[in-house]
Structure 1
Amino acid sequence: MKAHATLMPFDSVEEALKGDREASRSRLSLNGMWKFAFAETPSQRIVNFYEEGYNTSDWAEIKVPAHWQLQGYDYPQYTNIRYPWEESEPELMPPFAPTKYNPVGSYVRSFTVPEDWAGQPVFISFQGVESAFYVWVNGDLVGYSEDTFTPAEFDLTPYLRAGENKLAVEVYRWCDASWLEDQDFWRMSGIFRDVYLYTTPKAHIYDFFVLTELDDAYRDAELKLKATITNYWETQLGTVTVEAQLYDSEHKPVLAQPLVVTTTLGANEAEVDIDASVLVANPLKWSAEEPNLYTLVISLKDHEQQLLETISSRVGFRKFEIKDGLMLINGQRIVFKGTNRHEFSCHTGRALELQDMITDIKLMKLYNINAVRTSHYPNQPVWYELCNEYGLYVIDEANLETHGSWQYDQLELVPKNVPGSNPAWTANVLDRANSMFQRDKNHPSIIIWSLGNESFGGDNFVKMHDLLRDADPSRIVHYEGVTMWRDSAAATDVESFMYAKPHKLVEYAHDFRPKKPYILCEYSHAMGNSCGGLHIYTELFDKYPVLQGGFIWDWVDQAIWVNHEDGNGGHLAYGGEFGEQPHDGNFCGNGLIFADRSVSPKLVEVKKCYQNIDVTAVDLANGVISIRNKSLFTNVDRYTLQWSVAVDGVLLNENTGSLSATAAPGETQEVTLPLPTINEGEAVLTVSFVTQEASAWAEAGHEVAFEQFILPAAEQKAAAVKRKESSGAVQAVETAAAITVSGADFSASFDKVTGSLVSYQVRGAELLKEAVTPNFWRAYTDNDRGNKHHERCATWRSAGEEKVLRELSWDSLPDRVIVQASYLLPTTSASQCTVTYTVSGNGAIEVALQLAPGEGLPEIPEVGMLLVMDSSYDQLEWYGKGPEESYWDRQSGVKLGLYKGKVQEQFVPYLRPQECGNKMAVRRASVTAANGAGLQFTGAPTFELNALSYSPFELEAHDHAHLLPASDKTVVRINYRQMGVGGDDSWGAMPHPQYLLQANRTYSFSFTIQGK
């Protein structure tokens, strides 16, 4: 059947207003258990299984919709760029499909057409089948289809009989079209979206297109309706009437009189197109901020004005355009605060449930994401309906990626490039663009069509662009691939880049030639511990109008839950765990949320960088702040302004709602806060904006924006408090093996061979499990591995552990003992390290580290001290940034405050174990047992804290979290600094230079450790 808009006939206007297509009398779901047979190659398949006499009663059953790989057949395969058959059939060239291994799934089920459908045409709709399939009914071949991600519908009317009917479907894992479906995802197969029958009257609204055209003032609108009416009668039907009424959110009619068009239908599947319009005065406008929706109900009546059917569609009045070189939504410059999103569940793959989608969209809204790109194929129709309802801008992307068919920096189109300019592929890719457009054209959330992803260039993309622009002038067209082949520049209306470095954005913004609006269709690659430096990009989006945002790669980790054979739990698996070749390992772990849809610390940073209200200090001494409203359509008074002051982490003053901010969209307002008088300590002002009322995606009181400030007078008072520390008597004893310093209820011993603090006892309890040592290594992250950090910086890995003591000295003073150890570090060129311990009579030990790197050394992963305690010391409390982990280049989203938790809770379950759990700007912290005994750390003034159950070296040694052994220790790292985590990409980009510890200077820092 020809592609058409998503629709379902209803029997009444009331049903159409509800819009529940699954409840329609005209729909019969075929989801459920089907009979199934599996073959590894086409030659091994059961050829005649579709015949009426073929008995499938002894076949196994399989769930539909689902992938057969997740039900015990075949294997899932994760590859990024490479075609999955490259190793088994390296000689294969497009358009030929693999033959050595190309599984076929044979599906069978029966159905009975409802009695009240008698005499009406009956169709079957396959919403998604991967990758190609044949359909038989009652032994007759109905048809064939490919294009995994748009519907394939067939007219079953000629093949049906009364009573039970046999439906047979033969699905191929790969086909010629698989050359067009080389997306960076798990390669899986089967009937993975809904299958259903539907019926229509013999006169039927086959298709429709609703456009809303706002006037130049973006006030009044013209509602345009195009529709196609089909007649399945064998005779001319005569006059029919199409009647359309617009309803508001309370289901009240908006139009004084319905839009009415009368036409005449010819015989035997004759079609007639109608085109009509009506003016709508000042309708509520749709945007991601204010997703106002109406419902258009279209009724078809016969010549006697008897209702034949109704259909409905949600309508949003909005105008998206490029004007004066900028993309505008309803006249305002748009900034895409976006994410890419694969459809994926760790349990069901791409066969997503409704609740998965609702979870996704609520999280996006909660974390200030306003846009999504459907990477890299059209999603389930309900996703767009949710985007309409909740408010997300959508780039809808055609099912096209051919990354493995071309090379970066190639200078000409070659035959293997798919689709390129090859006319053999033209009809195929135009059909994919058209199928996406026709199905999705009525969703107001979709404002940009995308031609696909990473498929190089060629004339076929220009043809796709022209098809979409001709069919739909209300939207623009996006295609990033022209950056690889500039001869195809006409294929895109925006300049789109992937993973461009910030300086490239600035260069584009400063280029004064006429240019297209600029977006990053992929950026801030969220693989593992990543998204460092995101704020650099979002600041540029604010600074330069032509830079109109981007889409983080990507939303959810693509990992598959695997139950362990022993029945004891399971784990999240990534590429290579199913015996497949080739594969790309854990490169599928790029999500802002984890595979189980829990929130990662990266998303907290995104929320802050994407917030629409900025707060800056004007005169903190007098409580004056400035509020900038970056929203396009929402006044700040929609939210409650809250502020509080905490002193040394303890709440002193909290104010909710007594002050109001009223900055209109795009405006800035100054507000004076009546701050309390602070007598001593560090005073931190937190300003927040929270929702006043509950919404579909947030409870009342949800914070949408915040900022923190250290009040200026408090810094001096905090320093004054520190000078009041007192001390008691202390003594030192030197033996052949150690220097032991002791006081009233403590002792500290230093090994004379290593110079290390090896024992620290307080009230008779030993607090150290292993010696305190300088440390210059973190467990490498996915980004580190991608830029070869673990190889380039390997000289630092064991520098602390293999240090050589050059000199150990000590000096006893009346109230303290100073022990100093000087080391030679065995780096490529020798480095110098000095650790000075000043032991006071009250048991406090000030630890000072000085590092002088050798010549020509690479950047240093971290500079600090590492100590190990027994695992019974598992209680962590800190006054610093939290509660989530934070890093030098990723700390905007966390707040300075007083936090506590279990040490085990600080481990972050990235798909592959790596550096995690760090805390920035820590003033003080303690690691204690349940009884409160343990260690307390104090900064001078701050340090970075990391307390986990594993050392960096143990984390590196295990490629899955479930393989980490049971721990008998708590590993505490007190750092001057750890380098940033980076995130521009995960295959070569390093953290930005300002977040690197370069080995061209001397580093010094100190902190105090004391037993509790």
Structure 2
Amino acid sequence: MKAHATLMPFDSVEEAIRGDRAASRSYMSLNGMWKFAFAENPSKRIVNFYEDGYDHAEWAEIKVPAHWQLQGYDYPQYTNIRYPWEASENLVQPFAPTKYNPVGSYVRSFTVPDSWAGQPVFISFQGVESAFYVWVNGELVGYSEDTFTPAEFDLTPYLRAGENKLAVEVYRWCDASWLEDQDFWRMSGIFRDVYLYAAPKAHVYDFFATTELDAAYQDAELKLSATVMNYFEEHLGTVTVEAQLYGSDGQAVLPQPITVHAAFGSGSSELEIDAVASVADPLKWSAEQPNLYTLVISLKDEEGRLLEAVSTRIGFRKFEIKDKLMLINGKRIVFKGVNRHEFSCHTGRALGYEDMLMDVKLMKNYNINAVRTSHYPNHPRWYELCDEYGLYVIDETNLETHGSWDYGQTELLHRNVPASHPTWTANVLDRANSMLQRDKNHPSILMWSLGNESFGGDNFIRMHDFLQEADPSRIVHYEGVSLWRESEAASDVESQMYTPPAKVAEYAADPRSRKPFILCEYSHAMGNSSGGLHLYTELFDKFPLAQGGFIWDWVDQAIWTTNADGVPYMAYGGDFGEQPHDGNFCGNGLIFADRTVSPKLLEVKQCYQNASITAVDLRQGSVSVLNKYLFTDLEAFTLQWSVALNGNEAASGSLNVSAAPGEKADVAIPLPERQQGEGEAVLTISLHTKEASQWAEAGHEVAFQQFVLPDAPQAAGSIGRAERAPGSIEVAEDGGKLIVRGEAFSVAVDQGDGSLVSYNVGGTELLKGAMAPNFWRAYTDNDRGNSHLARCATWRSAGEERSLRSLVWEQQPDRVIVHAEFTLPTTTESQCSVTYSILGSGAVEVGLQLTPGDDLPEIPEIGMMLSMDGSFDRLEWYGKGPHESYWDRQHGAKIGRYSSTVAEQFVPYLRPQECGNKVAVRDAAVSNAEGASLRIAGEPLIELNALPYAPFELEAHDHVYKLPASDKTVVRINHKQMGVGGDNSWGAQAHPQYVLHANRTYSFRFTLTGITSR
């Protein structure tokens, strides 16, 4: 059947207003358990299984909707660019695999309700991967391919009274699989809903409602086109189509419904109806204020009896390009977006409503206002949620052919798909049309996208022109034109991927640039990533032409499974023995595969926030709040403020503020009086919603900023400041160690390697492993991708393999000073020195200085590493938190005083890697249950990392579940660690300002204090 808008017939206007399609008398779900047989290729399938008399009694059962790979058949396969059959067959387009191309045979029965007697009956498959045949009662109904849009068939001629047999034969791959080479798990089966629906003899088959705002973006015209079908070509006389708008209160909006009377011509089975109505000053739809109306279309016969009512929710909004800028209701839009694959670690792409609802609520909670449906039309419910909750959508055609072309190619080749091949034209146009027709009534959709990473060619221009003609109310997007400029006319926007910030600025600042600019993919969030995100979002504020981007991507694509020993874990590419595969490149999410929030999302929230809070005069408590919302006054929020002294709140309050969109509010914070020597004062200002919404309770924080107030020393707080009280000290050399003893403490330094090997306080040994210089972090996914391991390898064991050149000590009245000089075996020798000042109070002041050799690569980190017994499993710190933070990813963390466990500092990225870091740490303590602790104070600031594992251990294991049980706490006290980066994960390094370049001398200091009682 022809593609059409999502709809369902209802028996009354009231039912249509409620819009619960599953509650309609005309709806019957076929979800549930089906009979199933599996064959590993077409030649082994049961050819006649669809026959009416075939006995399926012994067949197994399988759940629908679901993938068969997650129910014990076949295997899931993750590839990014490569076609999945490359390892087994050498194919040329458009041929499908034959050696291994599994086939799933599905069977179930159904009985048509008696109330449907005399009505046409249709079946709708919302998503089947990748191609399938349908039989009813042994007769072939049809065939379809295009995994992600509905395939519907008229079953009326094939039905019989009583029980009917439905048979479906699904192929894992088909010729159309050349168009479905997305970066995702390759899985198969009936993975979206299947249902029957009935219609009256005359039926509103399709409709398209568009809203056109006037030049002032105030009043509107509602334009409606509809297709009415007469299925049995009986004489129906005149039919009447009425359309009415209903507000959120269920009350009619139009003074009179739109009414059109029409009659089918002789022998005609189809009517096209067009109508228009004026709507005075309707509430406008935007992501900030997603005001919706329900449009109900009623079809009546010539006696005025209601045949059916269909409905959809619509929004009045205008999206346009004017003066090279994209505008929503007249305002310059900034897409604060993400790319979203449909994926669940439990069910794959067979996503449930609760998963979708969780996604949309999380996006709204974390200041995300836009989503790109990468790289296919999503489940229809997703768009309804985006309409309702307020997300701007780029709806993407089910098209990616990444494995058929190469970056840098200078001509179109025969192997490129679809390129300009006439053989692919009808196919790609059909895919674009199927998307448009299904989704056209959703106000959340602002752009149609032609697909992803499919290079260029005339077929894209044909797709663009088709979409523009069919729907002038939206613009067309395609990133591929940036790689093949001969196809420039295929995209109305300049869309690029992973462009460095400097290049974004270059385009946006160039007056010759002709199109608005977006990054359809950027800030590749693979593993421990998203560093430098603020460098992009600052450009979106600075340059009008730079109108935002979509982070890659939303959720880790990992599959919850168990190993041979029954241990559950998150699986990635290769874990099912498949070839080819692309490993953990599926782990790019801002949230983890189980939909828990990763620290990366906290950075996104702050960088995407819609208010900019800046200092005017901090001595007077004067700040300015810039409203970056488009349609929301700041009076919708409460401004809360607090002043903390050394991390402990000393004063707080709240204020009402008001500023129109784009305007500033100057705010005076009534700062408390402070006494000299009270320590560091930090002012935190945040904005919180006054009213509850569908996605957040009242009081939800939408923006924050912190300021260290002037005239306050950056003194450490109560956790770690060393006492300077003098005490008697004894020094002895014993067994190759220099041992310093004082009242209730002893410190030992190894005279052979210069490391601190013992720190005993009150009879409790605080060190399990020696404290020594360290210059390596466990590599991240981004580090692997930019060859950090090879480039920086000289630093990997530099601390561990250091050579002691000299060790000298001197005793002073209140301390013993030990000074160790080292040579590091880097490519060209580096010099390092460590000084321990052991005070009579028992505190140990530590200083490190590093002088790199000539022409060395960047340094992963600079600091000292030690280990403690695993019983020291509690962590407190005064610094940025509560989640991990890095030099280039700390905007979303707040200065505060935090407590947690060491185990909780481990972040379960899909592959173990560097994690758990804390920046801007003033002081910290690692403690056990008895109250003994090692307290660490920066001089003034340090970075701190406390985990159950050392960097080399994290690197040695490719899955989290393989990490052994730990009996230690590894503490790394750093001057700095290089940024995690994140522009991309296959070559981009951290930005230069967040790199420890080996062209200067580095030094830092901190103090250790042992405590043995609370």
Would the TM-score normalized by the shorter structure come out above 0.5? yes
Q: Quote the offset at 1:341 in angstroms.
A: 0.1
Are positions 1:412 and 2:411 aligned together? yes
Letter of the structure 2 residue corresponding to residue 54 of structure 1: Y
Q: Which residue of 2 aligns with 1:697?
A: 695
1:642-672 deviation digits (Å, cap 9, x = unpaired)? 000000010101113xx21101100011111
Structure 1 residues 141 and 1004: CA distance shift in structure 2, 3 A: same
Amino acid at match of 1:449: W
| Match in the other structure for 1:86 | 86
- Rate the CA distance shift 1:605–1:109 in 2: closer, same or farther, 3 A: same
2:662 is aligned to 666
- Correspondence 1:599 to 2:597: yes
Partners of 1:951 and 1:781 in 2: CA distance: 14
For residues 759-780 of structure 1, give each alpha carbon's deviation from its aligned partner in whole angstroms, at most 9, with x where no partner exists: 1100111110011110000000
The equivalent residue for 1:800 is: 799
**Residue number in structure 1 paired with 2:20:** 20
Q: What is the 5 A alignment of 1:381-392?
A: 381-392=380-391
- 1:455 match: 454
CA contact (8 A) 1:235 1:267 kept: no
Q: Distance in 2 between matches of 1:587 and 1:372?
A: 21
Q: What's the RMSD between the two structures over aligned residues?
A: 1.2
Amino acid at match of 1:662: S
Aligned partners of 2:722 and 2:1008 also within 8 Å:
no
Is the 2:724–2:839 contact (alpha carbons within 8 Å) kept by the matching residues of 1? no
1:394 is matched with which residue?
393
Q: Tell me, in whole angstroms, the C-alpha distance in 2 between the residues paired with 1:717 and 1:917.
A: 24
- For 2:152 and 2:766, locate their aligned partners in 1 and report how far apart those are by CA, in whole Å: 70
Change (3 A) 1:165 1:765: same
In the alignment, the residues of structure 2 paired with residue 16 and residue 305 of structure 1 have an alpha-carbon distance, to the nearest angstrom, of 18
2:717–2:923 contact (8 Å) kept in structure 1:
no
- Size of the aligned set, in residue pairs, is 1008
Partner residue of 1:285? 284
Aligned pair in 2 of structure 1 residues 895, 88: CA closer, same or farther (>3 Å)? same
Shift of 1:333: 0.1
CA, structure 1 residues 268+846, in 2 after alignment: closer, same or farther (shift >3 Å)?
farther
What is the CA deviation profile of residues 919-963 of structure 1, one whole-angstrom value per residue up to 9, with x for unaligned ones? Answer: 000000000101110200000001000000000000000001110
Distance 1:880 1:269, change over 3 A: farther
Name which of structure 1's ranges 307-316 and 510-519 shifts more when overlaid on structure 2. 510-519
The alpha carbon displacement at 1:713 in A equals: 1.3
Say which is worse superposed, 503-512 or 74-83, in terms of deviation.
503-512
Equivalent position SS for 2:711: helix
Does the Cα contact within 8 Å between 1:233 and 1:268 map onto a contact in 2? no
Q: Is the 8 A contact 2:873 2:928 kept in 1?
A: yes
Cα contact 1:862–1:997 (8 A) shared by 2: yes
**1:7 corresponds to 2:14:** no
Q: What does the per-residue CA deviation read over 1:860-903, in whole Å, with 9 as the maximum and x for residues that have no partner?
A: 00000001000000110000000000000000000000000010
Question: Shift of residue 735 of structure 1?
Answer: 3.0
Which residue of the partner structure matches residue 55 of structure 2? Answer: 55
Following superposition, the deviation at residue 844 of structure 1 comes to: 0.6
The answer to whether the Cα contact below 8 Å between 1:592 and 1:600 also exists between their aligned partners in 2 is yes
2:936 corresponds to 1:937: yes
**C-alpha distance in 1, partners of 2:976/2:247?**
57
The structural deviation recorded for 1:730 is 1.9
Please list the CA deviations of residues 961-988 of structure 1 after superposition, one character each: whole Å capped at 9, or x if unmatched: 1100000000000000000000000000
**How many Å apart are 1:808 and its aligned residue?**
0.4
Deviation for aligned residue 1:510: 2.0
1:407-452 Cα distance to aligned partner (Å, 9 max, x none): 1110110111000000000000000000000000000000000000
- Tell me the amino acid that sits aligned with residue 903 of structure 1: V
> Offset of 1:268 from its aligned partner?
6.0
Measured after TM superposition, the shift of residue 290 of structure 1 is 0.2
* Secondary structure of the corresponding residue to residue 619 of structure 2: helix
- 1:273 and 2:269 aligned: no
Match of 1:194 in 2: 193
Which of 673, 680, 684 is residue 677 of structure 1 equivalent to? 673
Residues 1:776 and 2:775 aligned together: yes
Query: In the TM superposition, what are the counterparts of 1:846-865 in structure 2 within 5 Å?
Result: 846-865=845-864
CA distance in 1, matches of 2:664, 2:879: 30
C-alpha separation between the residues in 2 aligned to 1:265 and 1:647? 79
Aligned to 1:873: 872
Q: Could you tell me how far 1:724 is from its partner in structure 2?
A: 8.3
* Aligned match of 1:626: 624
How far the C-alpha of 1:791 sits from its partner, in A, is 1.1
Q: Which residue of structure 1 lines up, in the alignment, with residue 330 of structure 2? A: 331
Given that 1:237 and 1:267 are in contact with CA atoms closer than 8 Å, whether structure 2 keeps it comes out as no
AA in 2 matched with 1:151: P
- CA distance 1:824–1:162, shift in 2 (3 Å): same
State the distance in 2 between where 1:388 and 1:716 align: 48
Q: Does the residue aligned with 2:961 lie in a helix, a strand or coil?
A: helix
- The C-alpha deviation readout for 1:256-313, integer Å capped at 9, x for no partner, is 1111000002466611111100000000000000000000110000000000000011
The 5 A counterparts of 1:11-160 are: 11-90=11-90, 92-160=91-159
Partner Cα separation in structure 1 for residue 752 and residue 746 of structure 2? 19
Matched residue SS, 2:73: coil
Rounded Cα–Cα distance in structure 1 between residues aligned with 2:363 and 2:1002: 41
Q: Which amino acid aligns with 2:74?
A: D
Structure 2 match to 1:646? 644
The two structures have a TM-score, normalised by structure 1, of 0.99
Q: Is the 8 A contact 1:235 1:266 kept in 2?
A: no
Q: Distance in 2 between matches of 1:722 and 1:581?
A: 56
Which residue matches 2:835?
A: 836
Paired residue secondary structure (1:70): helix
Separation in 2, partners of 1:544, 1:120 = 58
Is the contact between residue 731 and residue 812 of structure 1 (CA under 8 Å) also seen in structure 2? no
Secondary structure of 1:758's aligned partner? strand
Kindly indicate whether the alpha-carbon contact (under 8 Å) linking 2:507 and 2:513 is maintained by their aligned counterparts in 1: no
Q: Secondary structure at the match of 2:713?
A: helix
Q: Distance in 1 between matches of 2:25 and 2:283?
A: 33
Contact 1:394 1:448 in 2 (8 A): yes
Shift of 1:233: 2.5
1:714 maps to what in 2? 712
Greater mean alpha carbon deviation, residues 115-124 or residues 659-668: 659-668
Structure 1 runs not aligned, ≥5 long: none
Cα offset, 1:515, TM superposition: 1.0
Check whether the contact 1:133–1:170 (CA below 8 A) recurs between aligned residues. Answer: yes
1:594-649 per-position Cα deviation (integer Å, ceiling 9, x unaligned) = 00000000000000000001100000100100000000000011011100000001
Q: Is 1:400–1:452's contact at 8 Å kept on the other side of the alignment?
A: yes
Q: Which residue of 1 aligns with 2:684?
A: 686
Give, as a single letter, the amino acid of the residue that structure 2 aligns with 1:409.
G
Deviation at 1:488, TM superposition (A): 0.2
Map of 1:611 onto structure 2: 609
Q: Give the distance between the partners of 1:904 and 1:830, measured in 2 at CA.
A: 37
Correspondences of 1:463-612 after superposition (within 5 Å): 463-567=462-566, 569-612=567-610
The whole-number CA distance in structure 2 between the counterparts of 1:4 and 1:736 is: 86
Conservation of the 8 A alpha-carbon contact between 1:233 and 1:269: no
Q: Tell me which residue corresponds to 1:216.
A: 215
Identical aligned residues as a percent: 73
**2:161 corresponds to:** 162
Shift of 1:731: 2.4
- How far did residue 234 of structure 1 move? 3.0
**Structure 2 CA distance for aligned equivalents of residues 403 and 263 of structure 1:** 49
CA contact (8 A) 1:238 1:266 kept: no
